[in-house]
A and B are shown apart, each in its own frame.
Chain A
């Protein structure tokens, strides 16, 4: 068979071939399971309930009401700023001024006016996903690292690393102090980077935290900022859940800390914001970078050419967010509703004996299921997660996908979609979890009881093979006996092998006298050998009949 000389064909890039996009992680495979069998109250009541998607659906009515009353946000006037033509042509990467102004005002309102935002420092991006990647491109070179406290949003693995070539070094946080970032943990992470000769360019924190659902305390923020100043690195504060803090005063933005320090050292601080969580508009792709560093603002603006917000959407939001009545009412109502939902789920889980981390923000709670694990390992956590997905039919995200260093100590469970269901269904879910817990207990009890009886029976039946005394030394001796006896049998086997070969030779020499049946057997054997050979060829060629594919 001639071997063809394959001309070399360029494939795809390393980035395209890598799996740093992270879509093979359980976080995403749970989504896939949900897509294949989604819960529906009427049509598919046994389907998977999606509790792994942090979406805010509680306050849509407020937005819809606004749109009903304010048609000019979606329609256009005939001239001037609000004409369709002007809007459709507007591709300036500075973004619509009115939109930036409205965003800056909205961000101020969320922080209760405790920090001021300048519209000229607002850079627009198509979602926070783009904002985080963009900032990483600007602040770090390939091979450098960002320090990120664990547990963190699984998407960061893709957003911060995939195309940028930047690494994430985790800042390990523990349940013993409610997963707060400590100066020691910061130092440890920094040292880890140093020992691997990796340059640290910045810290990225999410405040309020995803997946913990808790705000970072002021003193903690001060410590983190001090650390950044000491090491002369950047600090990125992803504040996309700032409007989802249940109580305004409990959320402290890094901007407030800077304000109290009169903006000293502020050129290393950058804030990421988005309307996907607070306003529940992930489809509209509205993200921003707010930086206190002029060069970062200029560069980010230029880079935002790759990821601008549709001017149609900017137009809509410029109107909506400039409406003081709407924004004031929305922020307050949204907070109240989220708080109520949170309390509902935490109560429900408590009644099933499941504790959550005390949270005060976000669209999810951080559940502790460590008592359901057979062993405190990541494998057991994944096993449990799989069971919850396939048997209990809930898609929740395992803590390991968020890089939590303690198995079972946290599974983020997004409570918003669940709360669209009536309370009875929620109760059903809670009872299912309880069932699971008791089943796990029963299974281990069964195993322990019946296992012992079976063991005793087995030994009784085979007692003639037991060599006394059954000690470890005896077992070692026996295994040595086995090994050397086998070795000694080799010459004998060698002899019998050659006898076999001689027999075959003899048959071949006298093949004319071969009986038909024997000949048939030989022929079949030959065919079988050939078939195996063909199979090997096909496999070696990459499961095709023609050509060699590398």
Chain B
């Protein structure tokens, strides 16, 4: 007799995907500077480790926040008993102000419309439960965060229909792609309930342009559907163009008095901007009272620990600190980003031009043996096992073109990043050399092996440089 439910026995949890397999390989053989210098370097985890010193120094100067004290008085009891799903008011106020600050104060948020959840993972799933029935679909632009397959579909029974984006225009969302996805859903007899975009995008690392946001709003207006904007990377924008939130465009384009106003929902979290994924702090923001009400009740299944709410309410209320943190964090991300882009370029690899996030969208199409996803998997395996880098293959992000990979740069020290760059450079060189060896076997004798090989390999290299399209 089947003992467990369908949900337990299916694999919509997505843990068999390469995204998670790479993690597992890393766990078995993790790089350590001293103890395991030949181990796998983790570049598949979008964590922000660059600015902990700022957090630690704030904590050292403000011991009350972690010590359950307010103005020197213990509030331990109050916090220990506080399980109200409306959340600690001081914390929600601080969160909404922080979110405003990230958006350059061009938008203001009402803390009564904010619902706290245990991480953005929980926020996304909760929104799905509120907006979609079993069998309904949400449209997502590809490539997208692999975790969405689990978060949006597993327990809710909802479906994801991809909006195919292509490298030819820098993976931007186009009207035709949106319409095509909508029709695709119709063909599969799925009722489309909304669109979910990540802005800034994971894995692309780019912010959505104003034009794309306007296009999305027009689209959801015409179809009468919802729009979820997952803005968990909004604080990691380090280059222009500046971050434009969908809220800003809603107000600018006078959607406030229309029904679209209530169909736009934002997801936020402190896991990426503040680098605190362990503390499980996520939020849903919606202008629809019913969504707020339903989501608040559902948050009972994943509340934020009151101990953590209190700590963060103190931290985020410190305006001096948040200002300093946001600007310093962005500077450091910018520097790291420049490092990895340069390092990859030295190896003859380009990235999609990006201005945000904790990762790069790397173009390795020229290293594929053939333009197929199988070849991408082969390349990925080589990179994980032979080169020792855990990066995420584009196929795990549902990218429609093989050869793209996501490499994270903010979850390691500078030295480790440099080592990773060296490894990849060596790998590319050796791949080129191997290719050449094959060619030379095919062409007959090579008498002046060395010099001719060098000249030949240089020529091959140059060829491949020219063949590749320059990306935006």
Q: Are B278 and A281 in contact (CB under 8 A)?
A: no
Contact A308:B118 (CB < 8 A) given known A12-B290, A88-B52: yes
Give the shortest distance, in Å, between A227 (CB) and chain B (any CB).
16
Which chain B residues in 265-281 approach chain A with CB under 8 Å? 271, 275-281
CB < 8 Å neighbour of A306 from B8, B77, B79, B122: B122
Give the shortest distance, in Å, between B320 (CB) and chain A (any CB).
20
CB < 8 Å neighbour of A307 from B122, B194, B277: B122
CB < 8 Å neighbour of A85 from B52, B131, B225, B298: B52
Q: Is B429 an interface residue (CB 8 A)?
A: no
In the complex, what distance in Å separates the CA atom of A322 from the CA atom of B95?
34
Q: Mark B252-295, 1 if CB is under 8 A from A, else 0.
A: 00000001000100000001000111111100000010110010
Give the shortest distance, in Å, between A97 (CB) and chain B (any CB).
14
Which chain B residues in 208-224 approach chain A with CB under 8 Å? 224
Q: Are A284 and B305 in contact (CB under 8 A)?
A: yes
CB < 8 Å neighbour of B5 from A23, A126, A137, A268: A137
Give the shortest distance, in Å, between B91 (CB) and chain A (any CB).
12
Q: Are A302 and B129 in contact (CB under 8 A)?
A: no
Q: Is A436 an interface residue (CB 8 A)?
A: no
* Chain A residue contacts of B136, Cβ below 8 A: 13
Q: Are A299 and B8 in contact (CB under 8 A)?
A: yes
Give the shortest distance, in Å, between A410 (CB) and chain B (any CB).
25
Q: Are B301 and A307 in contact (CB under 8 A)?
A: yes
CB < 8 Å neighbour of B131 from A13, A137, A293, A316: A13
Q: Are B307 and A310 in contact (CB under 8 A)?
A: yes
How many residues of B sit at the interface, in one of the four size bands? 35 or more
Q: Is B381 an interface residue (CB 8 A)?
A: no
Q: Is B66 an interface residue (CB 8 A)?
A: yes
CB < 8 Å neighbour of B301 from A7, A85, A306: A306
Q: Are A8 and B224 in contact (CB under 8 A)?
A: yes
In the complex, what distance in Å separates the CA atom of A158 from the CA atom of B85?
14
Q: Are A15 and B130 in contact (CB under 8 A)?
A: yes
Q: Is A232 an interface residue (CB 8 A)?
A: yes
* Chain B residue contacts of A283, Cβ below 8 A: 79-83, 305-307
Which chain A residues in 1-50 approach chain B with CB under 8 Å? 7-10, 12-17, 21, 23
In the complex, what distance in Å separates the CA atom of A16 from the CA atom of B68?
36
New contact pairs (19) apart from A158-B300, A283-B307, CB-CB < 8 Å: A13-B131, A15-B130, A17-B290, A76-B59, A84-B59, A91-B271, A91-B280, A137-B155, A158-B297, A267-B3, A284-B80, A293-B3, A296-B4, A306-B121, A306-B302, A308-B118, A310-B307, A312-B278, A312-B279
24 contacts between A and B (CB under 8 A): A9-B263, A10-B224, A12-B130, A12-B294, A16-B130, A55-B81, A60-B76, A87-B278, A90-B278, A91-B277, A91-B278, A126-B303, A129-B300, A130-B300, A138-B8, A141-B7, A201-B5, A281-B80, A284-B306, A295-B4, A303-B13, A306-B121, A309-B280, A313-B305
Please report B residues at the A interface, Cβ cutoff 8 Å: 1, 3-8, 13, 15, 47, 49, 52, 55-56, 59, 63, 66-68, 74, 76-77, 79-83, 118-119, 121-122, 125, 129-134, 136, 150-151, 154-155, 191-194, 224-226, 259, 263, 271, 275-281, 288, 290-291, 294, 297-298, 300-308, 311
Please report A residues at the B interface, Cβ cutoff 8 Å: 7-10, 12-17, 21, 23, 55, 57, 60, 63-64, 67, 71, 74-76, 84-85, 87-91, 126-127, 129-130, 133, 137-142, 144, 158-159, 162-163, 201, 232, 234, 267-268, 276, 280-286, 293, 295-296, 299, 302-303, 305-313, 316
